[in-house]
């Protein structure tokens, strides 16, 4: 049996990347999308020049600092499951540079490392390239808050869930996967896969640079920290049963 559904895999390997509507995500994830265990090592990029200067990066394409490059080289020794069957980075260069440095010490992935913009850090608008500061909305777990010109955590969740759904429906067998991304997407991934229930707990999660964190994915379900009514309103009760069943059948 092939390890992946090749037609669906084309989507997640870069051909036709999609962010799905909330209604489509809920239709599939409310029932759960099952599969064999995926062992997912998720890595926050090595230190960037923004991190070194205490600045907010967001979508700003900040390069790795000198310390960050050393962290990325050391990461090569920390990836105990390498070579992975699949590996992804965001479209921001600090994630790809992290894996490029690590790959100089050991083979990272059996297949070519792919880029997926759904793994990008959330856009932080007017906060980008400004000194880091306490944001009370994040502290209380406000998933709808966005700085002017930026993204909400709900918007980030929508694209990360779309990536995870493509991953779950594409890969058929148990395997090891590597994802190099950012702290925002990592919070979302941890919240979804570890079934965290409180938004404030998700937004307070912290991850060190250039260190792998292991998450296991079997059945991918709707995140417990999000009330479906927040994104669907009354439509949460209006998704036809046949529609949910049909979508679930497609993914088995």
* DSSP secondary structure, 217-246, as one string: ESSB---TTS-HHHHHGGGGG-S-HHHHHH
Which has the minimum average pLDDT: 13-17, 90-94, 198-202? 13-17
The CA distance from 205 to 126, in Å, is 23
* Complete DSSP assignment for 133-150: ---HHHHTT-TT---TTB
Residue 37 predicted with pLDDT over 50 = yes
Per-residue model confidence (pLDDT) at position 82? 96
Model confidence at 17, pLDDT cuts 50, 70, 90, reads confident
Per-residue model confidence (pLDDT) at position 198? 98
Calculate the average pLDDT of the chain: 90
pTM over the 0.75 mark: yes
Dump pLDDT digits (tens) for 212-227.
999 999 999 999 999 9
Model confidence at 172, pLDDT cuts 50, 70, 90, reads confident
Model confidence at 247, pLDDT cuts 50, 70, 90, reads very low
Model confidence at 246, pLDDT cuts 50, 70, 90, reads very low
The CA distance from 114 to 108, in Å, is 12
Residue 251 predicted with pLDDT over 60 = no
Residue 2 predicted with pLDDT over 70 = no
Residue 11 predicted with pLDDT over 70 = no
Residue 104 predicted with pLDDT over 60 = yes
Q: Which residues are CB-neighbours of 225 under 8 A, at least 6 positions away?
A: 141, 191, 196, 197, 198, 199, 201, 202
Other CB atoms within 10 A of residue 24 CB: 15
Residue 239 predicted with pLDDT over 90 = no
Token pair belonging to 244:
């949910």
Dump pLDDT digits (tens) for 146-159.
999 999 999 999 99
Per-residue model confidence (pLDDT) at position 244? 41
Residue 113 predicted with pLDDT over 60 = yes
**Domains of the chain in sequence order:** 6-250 (3.40.50.1240)
């Amino acid at each position: 049996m092939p390890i992946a559904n090749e037609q669906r895999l084309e989507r997640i390997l870069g051909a036709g990347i999609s962010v799905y509507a909330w209604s489509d995500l809920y239709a599939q994830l409310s029932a759960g999308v099952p599969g064999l265990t995926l062992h997912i090592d998720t890595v926050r990029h090595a230190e960037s020049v923004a991190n070194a200067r205490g600045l907010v990066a967001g979508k700003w394409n900040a390069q790795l600092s000198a310390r960050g490059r050393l962290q990325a080289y050391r990461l090569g020794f920390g990836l105990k499951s390498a070579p992975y069957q699949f590996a992804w980075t965001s479209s921001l260069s600090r994630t790809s540079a992290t894996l490029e440095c690590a790959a100089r010490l050991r083979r990272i992935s059996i297949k070519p490392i792919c880029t997926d913009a759904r793994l990008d850090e959330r856009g932080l608008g007017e906060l980008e390239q400004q000194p880091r500061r306490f944001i009370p909305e994040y502290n209380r777990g406000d998933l709808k808050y966005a700085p002017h010109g930026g993204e909400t955590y709900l918007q980030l969740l929508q694209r990360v869930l779309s990536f995870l759904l493509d991953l779950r429906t594409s890969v058929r067998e148990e395997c090891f996967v590597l994802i190099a991304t950012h702290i925002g997407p990592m919070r979302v991934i941890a919240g979804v896969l570890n079934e965290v229930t409180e938004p404030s707990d998700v937004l307070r999660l912290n991850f060190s640079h250039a260190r792998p964190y292991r998450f296991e994915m079997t059945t991918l379900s709707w995140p417990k920290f999000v009330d479906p009514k927040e994104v669907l309103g009354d439509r949460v009760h209006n998704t036809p049963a046949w529609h949910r069943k049909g979508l679930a059948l497609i993914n088995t």
